[in-house]
Structure 1
Amino acid sequence: MTTDAKDAVKMKTSLLILLAIVLTVIFSSVAYGLVMPMTAQEVLDEFDMIVLGTITDKKQSEGNAPLYTMEIEEVVKQDSFGMSKSVLAIGCNQNIMHLGTPCPSYEIGDRGLFLLVGNNNYEVSFYSQVSKLNCTSKEFLANYRGLEYGFFWTQDGQSKTFFTGKQIDMHYNVNNRDMTEKDYSVMFSANSAKFEYSNVVNGTVNECVGSKMITTSFVPTVMGTYGFNAGSEGVYGISIIDYGSTPLAQHKAGVHGQDTWCRDNLILILKNDNTKPRADNYPACVAKDTGAKLIERNWGFVPPESNAFGYLGGK
């Protein structure tokens, strides 16, 4: 990668550095290509030229990066490109070890959305995507979704506090990077010491669709700590609470201290106890004035995930 192109990439992605890093550095024969998630709009904003096209030529000498010729089908970005029917762009060097995103290699006949960095001397971004299908530029762009969760769960449209007796929706994102038609079969499960739920969801991701969000639902009947699973992803330690239950009842049911639900505008305080993880310390739901006194006396503390002075419950 040329110095100008690297500087351009770093400058254009500086505002998104907290999400991830797009950076290529050649040092001691190691190139770092750590890719941040991008939305379709970010792709349109960040790259100097975007074309829908086909690789018609590839030239590569030993030890060097390939030089691609792309026949342009559609210029998605850069109206000033003129009437040219093709564009040259340098790929990444396969002979250099890439940490993070693998170095993509394209062959003659590959068709897709090519994201280019530079001015006249273009380089192909790691984000470029090809497919064997005749997908449109809009369909390729729709595949860029940014920092999208692969597996998550909601109740009443929120993902913070969960109660028994109400429907919980588990959502799983089936990825389809090559955009070919794909059948899927995803096993969902949710369980605690006294409750079990499982379901298999089958379906198809259509051609030129980069991913599909699927959902299954269940109603938990037992308060406690649950594990959720979908496909190859899983998580344990999700607290589900009986509405109206006391902190003591929640504690005995295995609900994590920091997840304790407080009603009637009471705030959550956890007792100082160094014998167990802080998140599992004994909970108390108290008035604000009482909470301030307990903190002043070093009896307890406000959980880190609460607001400035405890999570205000309510329903």
Structure 2
Amino acid sequence: MKYFVIFLVLIGFVGTIFAIPPFDSQEIFDFSNTIVVGKIISVNSTFSPTHSLYHIQVEKFLKNSQDSQVIVASGQNTVFSRLGNEVFHVGDRALFFLTSNYVGYDKYSDILSIHPTTRSVESEWDACDIFANDIPQEHWVFGGVGPSVKASQENKTRDFVTGKEILITHDISNPTPVEKKIDFGMTIKNIDDPNSLYIFSEISNIVLEPCVPYHTLTWTFTPAKAGNYRFEFDNLMGSRHTLGMEIKQNILSKNYSSVLSLLKQFKSGISFDEIECREELVLVQKYNSFPACVTESTKQKLIERGWALTKLKPELEPEDESDVMKKARELGINNIMEAVDSEKLTSDEKREYIKIRYEESPNNIPSLNIRIKDFTRNLEFGERPTFTLIETGYAIPCTHPTLEVYLLKQEIGNDHTPDDLVYEDKIVHSCPSFGSFYPVLKFWDETDFKPFPVCEKEGRYLVVGDSGYERGALEEYYCNAPYKN
């Protein structure tokens, strides 16, 4: 049987240099509230110690158009290599990805934020007028590392099974006014079988017409064997896109037992609504979330007694749930912050919880966050603030949290400049010798930093933190003045 069919469509690449985090173009489109091509017409560089305030004259809305043709948005005022962001000036034109991220200042809490993946408009885009026609959301190819490889089976993007055709697609683009020739390779392998050869391997070349916003390469593949598969698409000029997926045995296929026992079906990992019972029985979900096959009359009795659910829960409790996740669930812990603050989890359990949460994330993106607890917000003359700094995340490099303190010139508003910096310090410490991502959980207090400035000048002070991955306002405090929310 021939499992693979190739349909070639003329397409091209958008090459982009990126920094952490490596979002693909579809992710950027999805999390952006608004996308525009526009021009900076004014910059307020005194908006905050970390951000400038931009007025953007919109040339075209590419997602979620608004009534006004001028958008106000905040953006980092410093280039950070890990973010890969740009700093813009009056007259700059860019493809702006705008999100509703809160930048930490009450007066401007409802403004948009310029995402670090925003990029200056390239002259070749203008030559092609590449955004003249609307680009469908599912074929968006601009920003980040470009489009990802996608897979679907009977319109589903997960829970793949054997014996059914899987559609593999990849969008690329040629937003330049010249024709391009691209050599590429596509391979598929079952990585659970180290002795197996590639199920499919091909090197091809195509000619890309000028000024094409997107085109799609399409393959179809019918897996005959369960396992973990890896799909690799290589632009032989150096770009690679990889997609991994787990394919489970289709218990309903002709090559498998027609109806397995309920326990075997449940353990095989198939979704609840695909479990089959014998003809005379019906499927119910018991109060403990496990399935059962019973007669119709028994089903009604179980529901009346509260031993079965009238509606199926969307998810079953995983059979292989770790002890840490089970304990956290029983404690009512739903996120990393709650786990870190819990007094009923050990430090090792907290690190394990962080590791599991990041590894089960669909993007599995390295990240570090810092926050402050128990901060002394009201100081008298001669006092220094006390606090606990908590650093959490999932990272490879060493972590060196930095704190800065700015004296705000007025009680209300945010008109201040980097010249208002009164304190800065970075913690330098030894790092674990891990060659891959590791869970980060560190606690510091004010004694780990050089002494904060003594309260001697009345006013409001802003504490800004930089984890190396993220930078933003953490707290504010008052010297010889009442704290105000």
Structure 2-normalised TM-score?
0.33
TM-score by length of 1: 0.46
- The answer to which structure, 1 or 2, has the higher relative contact order (CA under 8 A, 6+ apart) is 2
